[in-house]
C-alpha cells in the first residue's frame, strides 16, 4: 500500500485541534487533494492559511457527522479516510446519549459505511486513551498497553460519559470492519498539547490552561500522559502510509501520574499558581517512558512534552486565553 500524495484523502473534523494539525501535516507531506468535513456553519477559514493550502488542494464539505448523506459526499473518491470528528469535552453533558454517545458511535459508523461504499483503502480511526482507561481491573504492577479496554460499567456508574462514547465508538468500528472487510487502524492519543491552529480553545489545551490557573482537578479518569499534537498528526499519517500497520496504537510520550505532570509544569512556570498534588492522582498507574512502543517501532520519534507545553503556553497567551503572567499562590 504505497501512498500516493495525489490520491484524495478525507479528514473528518478537519477544523478542530487535531484535525487542523492533520490537515497541515498532509499538506506538508505533499498530499494535493485533501477533503475536510466540518460541522455545518463551523469556521474552517484558518486552514487556508496553512502552507500549501488553496482551493485546489483543500475541499471543505459541511457535514454533521450524523448526516450519512453529507458524510458520504465528503468521503467519495477518497482512498484514505481519517476519522477525527467526535465531541471532545470533559464537561458533564446534560444528555450524554445525544451529546456524546450518539455522535461518537453513529458518526463513526456513517464514516465507515461511506469508506466501505467508495472503496477507501484504509480508515485511520482517532480513538483515545479514553477507550483504554479507566480500567480498574488492570493489574496495578502492569504498564497499560493496547490490550486494555475502558470498563464501561465503571464509567457509567461514575457518569464519565466521554470514555463511554469513545469506547463504544471504537468497538462499533472493529465490529463494522470485521463484518465488512474494511481496513481500519486505530490511534489512541493521550492528552494532546501544542499550538492551536483553530480559533477556539479545545478541551485538552484547556486542561493545561486550567492547571496553570490553579485547578485542583486530578484528571483521575482521563489521564495517562501527554503528547505533542504534531506527533499525533504524524502518527495518523504514518498509520495510513504503513501497509503492515494494524490494530490499536497508543500515542503518548510516556505514561506517568498527572501529579508528576503538574510538578513539571510548576517548575517550568513558577509564576503560575500550579497546584502541587500530594500522592497519586491515578492510583496504581505504572510509569513507562516508551509506552507508545508500537508507534516507536514504526519509526515515530516523540517531541519532548516540555516543548509541547511551552508551545501551548505561547499559543494560549497569543490567543488571549492566558494572561502573560499570573501571580503564584505562594508569592
Q: Is residue 66 near ligand NAP by the rule CB under 6 A?
A: yes
The three cell numbers of residue 75 are 468521503
Minimum distance from CB of 190 to ligand NAP (Å)?
7
The three cell numbers of residue 305 are 512534552
Q: Is residue 252 near ligand NAP by the rule CB under 6 A?
A: no
DSSP reduced 3-state for 251: strand
Given candidates 191, 219, 252, 312, which one binds ligand NAP under the rule CB under 6 A?
191
Q: Is residue 80 near ligand NAP by the rule CB under 6 A?
A: no
Q: Is residue 315 near ligand NAP by the rule CB under 6 A?
A: no
Closest CA to 75 of 26, 12, 30, 1: 12
Q: Which is nearer to ligand NAP, 120 or 208 (CB)?
A: 208
Minimum distance from CB of 11 to ligand NAP (Å)?
10
Write out the catalytic residue numbers. 166
Q: Is residue 86 near ligand NAP by the rule CB under 6 A?
A: yes
Strand extents, DSSP E, the chain: 9-12, 34-38, 58-62, 80-83, 122-126, 184-189, 191-193, 226-228, 247-251
Minimum distance from CB of 49 to ligand NAP (Å)?
17
Residue with cell 458533564: 92
Cis omega before residue 134 (within 30°)?
yes
Separation CA 156–CA 31 (nearest Å): 41
Cβ burial 110-126 (10 Å sphere, 16+ → b, else e): bbbbbbbebebbbbbbb
* Residue range at the interface with ligand NAP (CB under 6 A); choices 37-45, 139-147, 208-216, 284-292: 37-45
Question: How many residues in total does the chain contain?
Answer: 331
Q: Which is nearer to ligand NAP, 5 or 221 (CB)?
A: 221
Q: Is residue 87 near ligand NAP by the rule CB under 6 A?
A: yes
Closest CA to 128 of 87, 180, 179: 87
Closest CA to 83 of 29, 16, 138, 150: 16
Given candidates 135, 202, 210, 310, which one binds ligand NAP under the rule CB under 6 A?
202
Q: Is residue 148 near ligand NAP by the rule CB under 6 A?
A: no
Q: Is residue 210 near ligand NAP by the rule CB under 6 A?
A: no
Q: Is residue 110 near ligand NAP by the rule CB under 6 A?
A: no
Q: Is residue 64 near ligand NAP by the rule CB under 6 A?
A: yes
Taking CA atoms, 23 is separated from 26, 44, 53, 110, 234, in Å, by: 5, 11, 9, 21, 10
DSSP 130: G
Q: Which is nearer to ligand NAP, 93 or 273 (CB)?
A: 93
Given candidates 9, 10, 18, 47, which one binds ligand NAP under the rule CB under 6 A?
18
Q: Which is nearer to ligand NAP, 5 or 135 (CB)?
A: 135
Give the interface with ligand NAP as residue ranges (CB under 6 A). 13, 15-19, 38-39, 42, 64-66, 84-88, 103, 126, 128, 166, 189, 191-192, 202, 204
Amino acid at each position: 500500500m504505497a501512498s500516493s500524495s495525489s490520491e484524495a484523502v478525507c479528514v473528518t473534523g478537519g477544523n478542530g485541534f487535531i484535525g487542523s494539525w492533520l490537515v497541515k501535516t498532509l499538506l506538508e507531506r505533499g498530499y494535493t487533494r485533501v477533503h475536510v468535513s466540518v460541522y455545518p456553519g463551523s469556521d474552517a477559514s484558518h486552514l487556508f492559511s496553512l502552507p500549501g493550502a488553496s482551493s485546489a488542494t483543500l475541499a471543505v464539505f459541511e457535514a454533521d457527522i450524523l448526516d450519512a448523506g453529507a458524510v458520504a459526499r465528503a468521503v467519495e473518491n477518497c482512498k484514505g479516510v481519517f476519522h477525527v470528528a467526535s465531541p471532545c469535552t470533559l464537561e458533564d453533558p446534560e444528555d450524554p446519549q445525544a451529546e456524546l454517545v450518539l455522535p461518537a458511535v453513529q458518526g463513526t459508523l456513517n464514516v465507515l459505511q461511506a469508506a466501505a461504499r467508495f472503496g477507501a483503502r484504509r480508515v485511520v480511526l482517532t480513538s483515545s486513551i479514553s477507550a483504554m482507561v479507566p480500567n480498574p481491573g488492570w493489574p496495578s504492577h502492569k504498564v497499560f498497553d493496547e490490550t486494555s479496554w475502558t470498563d464501561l460499567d465503571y464509567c457509567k456508574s461514575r457518569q464519565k460519559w466521554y470514555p463511554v462514547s469513545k469506547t463504544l465508538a471504537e468497538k462499533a468500528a472493529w465490529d463494522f470492519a470485521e463484518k465488512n472487510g474494511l481496513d481500519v487502524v486505530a490511534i489512541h492519543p493521550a492528552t494532546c498539547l501544542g499550538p492551536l491552529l483553530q480559533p477556539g480553545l479545545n478541551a485538552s489545551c484547556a486542561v493545561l490552561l486550567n492547571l496553570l490557573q490553579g485547578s485542583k482537578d486530578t484528571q483521575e479518569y482521563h489521564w495517562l500522559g501527554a503528547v505533542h499534537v504534531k506527533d499525533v498528526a504524524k502518527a495518523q499519517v504514518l498509520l495510513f502510509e504503513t501497509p503492515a500497520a494494524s490494530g490499536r496504537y497508543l500515542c503518548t510520550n510516556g505514561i506517568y501520574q498527572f501529579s508528576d505532570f503538574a510538578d513539571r509544569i510548576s517548575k517550568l512556570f513558577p509564576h503560575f499558581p500550579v497546584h502541587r498534588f500530594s500522592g497519586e492522582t491515578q492510583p496504581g498507574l505504572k510509569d513507562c517512558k516508551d509506552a507508545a512502543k508500537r508507534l516507536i517501532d514504526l519509526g515515530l520519534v516523540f517531541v519532548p512534552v516540555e516543548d509541547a507545553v511551552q508551545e501551548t503556553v505561547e499559543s494560549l497567551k497569543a490567543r488571549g486565553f492566558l494572561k502573560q503572567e499570573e501571580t503564584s499562590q505562594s508569592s
